Amino acid sequence: MAIPITVPRLGWNMEQGIFAGWLKADGAAVRAGESLFTLESEKATQDIEGFDDGVLHIAPDGPRQGDIVPVGAIIGFVLEPGEAIPALTSPAAAPPKKEMLAATERVPATQGPRRTEPASSPRARRTAAKLGVDWRHAKGTGQTGRIRERDVLALTAPAGSTRRIIAERMLASQRSTAPVTLMTTVDATALVKLRKQWKVVSDLIPTFTDLLVKLAASAIEKHPLLNSRWENDRVVASGGVHIGIAVDTEAGLLVPVLRDVSTLSLKDLAAQTRDLIERARQRKLSANEMQGGTFTVTSLGAFGIDAFTPIINYPECAILGIGRIRRCPVVVDDAIVIRDQVTLSLTFDHRIADGAPAARFLQTLSVLIEKAEFV
């Protein structure tokens, strides 16, 4: 029996992706678990595995590298040896949903002599096809004026498809949650002192976000309700503390996930954070590395922001916003002294947690920050 190969959904709201090429040749023997082709979603590139043994048949009119393909589209088959090749357009092979029948969009054909076109990267051309823009209109910023992906994205700002995806997710979060934001200002003097000590003893220096992610994980263990999510009209507890970190990139906001933060040493956490951030900005994260988060941390301190109202990364319960650390005069034991202060902004889903549990979480986190004690 011919088994169709379809375009999978790599994200909860993914509707289409960019076909990046086959990893096996037409007619090759394939086994379950082997990667068959590469697919690029809005924010990640992933090799797609097959689930069956057999012989690969690539549809002759299937997608080419750089084509936009809808989720569910059939692009080939896994056949038994000697089995007849089914027609893609036959009723038996066609997917039941209308969106799966949508034709793929081709990369705009080159116009004019090839020698008159500016140099461009394959990723830039794929992104242009995805956004429906002419990459030749971009101003190249690469060597010798080569057009890069960032140049294509600049053509669409602020209305590019990545911005549209982010907007859809933010609206989905607002529609699907009952968000409330609590703010508190915490004495971070001990935290600043601790980081200075790290500069002396280690070449891998944790950022303040690293320190606060680790402390947030400790607070979550004492208040697990903030680590849960809303699924099927009920609260579902999470099995581990997996914290997403918001990363500002040229393609938009990405949220890679640090797994099992409670079990990581501060040094290991810092190393993993740097790796995830670097690959996020290079758009080399897999879809799996941006899924499965149970809590999110986002910081705008580097931009001089004191406090803000972060939007929940649905379906998580809460997101912690971190403002800048600033030196301020404060009253300590009836004396005015200069201390390092940071404002925390916790947005939580009121369907899952009431104000008091969320406030207790912030209290616990505040004490941990003031003591700057890591285990």
What is the Cα gyration radius of the chain?
25
Check residue 252 and give its pLDDT. Answer: 80
- Using one digit for the tens of pLDDT, what is the confidence trace for 249-268? 877 889 999 999 999 999 99
- Using one digit for the tens of pLDDT, what is the confidence trace for 123-147? 777 777 776 677 787 878 776 677 8
Residue 354 annotated in active site: yes
Q: What is the dihedral of CA 95, 105, 290, 31, to 10 degrees?
A: 50
The more confidently predicted of residues 236 and 104 is 236
- The CATH number given to 180-371 is 3.30.559.10
Q: What is the DSSP string of 154-211?
A: HHHTTS-HHHHHHHHHHHHHHHH--EEEEEEEEE-HHHHHHHHHHHHH-SSPPPHHHH
Asked if 86 contacts 94 with a C-beta cutoff of 8 angstroms, the reply is: no
pTM, 2 dp: 0.64
Q: What is the DSSP string of 16-32?
A: EEEEEEESS-TT-EE-T
Check residue 40 and give its pLDDT. Answer: 82
Q: What percent of the chain has pLDDT over 90?
A: 51
- Using one digit for the tens of pLDDT, what is the confidence trace for 179-189? 999 999 999 99
Mean pLDDT across the chain: 84
Check residue 83 and give its pLDDT. Answer: 84
Give me the architecture of the 3-101 domain, per CATH. Answer: Beta Barrel (2.40)
CA distances from 16 to 19, 125, 243, 286 (A): 10, 17, 27, 16
Q: What percent of the chain has pLDDT over 70?
A: 86
**DSSP code for 240:** S
Domain spans of the chain, in order of start = 3-101, 114-157, 180-371
Q: Is residue 218 pLDDT above 50, yes or no? A: yes
Catalytic residue among 134, 260, 275, 354: 354
Q: How confident is the model at residue 169 (pLDDT cuts 50, 70, 90)?
A: confident
Q: How confident is the model at residue 161 (pLDDT cuts 50, 70, 90)?
A: low
Asked if 130 contacts 18 with a C-beta cutoff of 8 angstroms, the reply is: yes
Check residue 110 and give its pLDDT. Answer: 39
Q: How confident is the model at residue 102 (pLDDT cuts 50, 70, 90)?
A: very low
Q: Is residue 100 pLDDT above 50, yes or no? A: no
- The CATH number given to 114-157 is 4.10.320.10
Check residue 213 and give its pLDDT. Answer: 98
Closest CA to 157 of 67, 17, 252, 248: 252
Q: How far apart are CA 4 and CA 364, in angstroms?
A: 53
Q: What's the gap between Cα 256 and its chain centre? A: 5
Residue 117 structure tokens: 């076109």
Catalytic residue among 26, 61, 137, 350: 350
Asked if 337 contacts 328 with a C-beta cutoff of 8 angstroms, the reply is: no
Residue 306 annotated in active site: no
